[in-house]
Amino acid sequence: MPDEAETLTIQVNDKEAITALVYAADKKNHAGITVVLGHGAGANQLSGFMRMFAKDLSSRGLDVMTFNFIYMEQGRSVPDQKPKLEACFRAVIETALKHKKLKKNALVIGGKSIKRGEKLILMMGAANRDPQTFSEPDSARVPRDEGRDLVFGAGRHVCLGMNLAKIESRVTLAHFLGLPTLERDGPPTFRSAVRLSPAESCGAEEAPHQLKRP
């Protein structure tokens, strides 16, 4: 373990913890910036390259935090699934934000930083036109299956009315574009055989429908 770095143990979830290292910035040219460095698939945070890189940055005035992903920490070679990798990043960032020596710093991730007190504006519309995700982002093309759009937001605050809005849009567009709609054309018939499960008992054998022009 490098003696120039402080070793931290970070709990990622109920069962798994990882090790992180903090390389304190050189005091003479302290920049007030924390850089978080994740390792590649082949070697962990103790690899010669990671240690040299972290040390060099810290000698140039940056506080540096490196960490092991869970799979590396546990000595496995196959990387974790995306949610676990992300959870690991989140736990490390949380720790960096609270660490007594780093908490006043700006945090740099992927070369971008937000200084303490700076305002942040979320540009959902811009995300939907991200040229790195969508080809010809400014042309209206239906369907577009290239990436995940953020029309209804994402995560914890995803639009609660998303399904209603989708139905309303479908009905409205069908009306204005003259697209056919699917309408029921007679009663459904259900299986009379023994029902094995509640899910199966809901299944119709036939459900006649007709395409109708609006």
Residue ranges that bind ligand HEM, judged by CB under 6 A: 124, 151-153, 157, 159-161, 164-165, 169
Reference 68, options 9, 4, 2, 3; nearest CA is 9
Cβ-based nearer residue to ligand HEM, 117 or 125: 125
For residue 161, the minimal CB distance to ligand HEM (Å) is: 2
CA distance 80 to 28: 39
CA distance 44 to 213: 62
Cβ-based nearer residue to ligand HEM, 166 or 195: 166
Pairing of strands 63-67, 17-23: antiparallel
CB atoms under 10 Å from CB of 77, counted, come to 8
CA distance 205 to 191: 6
Cβ-based nearer residue to ligand HEM, 41 or 173: 173
For residue 160, the minimal CB distance to ligand HEM (Å) is: 4
For residue 4, the minimal CB distance to ligand HEM (Å) is: 42
Reference 37, options 20, 25, 61; nearest CA is 20
Cβ-based nearer residue to ligand HEM, 43 or 159: 159
Bridge partners, 197 (sequence order): none
Cβ-based nearer residue to ligand HEM, 109 or 151: 151
Bridge partners, 7 (sequence order): 21
- Residue 151 amino acid letter: V
Query: Which residue number is nearest to ligand HEM in terms of Cβ?
Result: 161
For residue 140, the minimal CB distance to ligand HEM (Å) is: 15
User: Helix, strand or coil for residue 79?
Assistant: coil
Per the CB < 8 A criterion, the answer to whether 134 and 146 are in contact is: yes
Distance from the first to the final alpha carbon of the chain? 72
For residue 154, the minimal CB distance to ligand HEM (Å) is: 7
For residue 181, the minimal CB distance to ligand HEM (Å) is: 19
Cβ-based nearer residue to ligand HEM, 169 or 189: 169
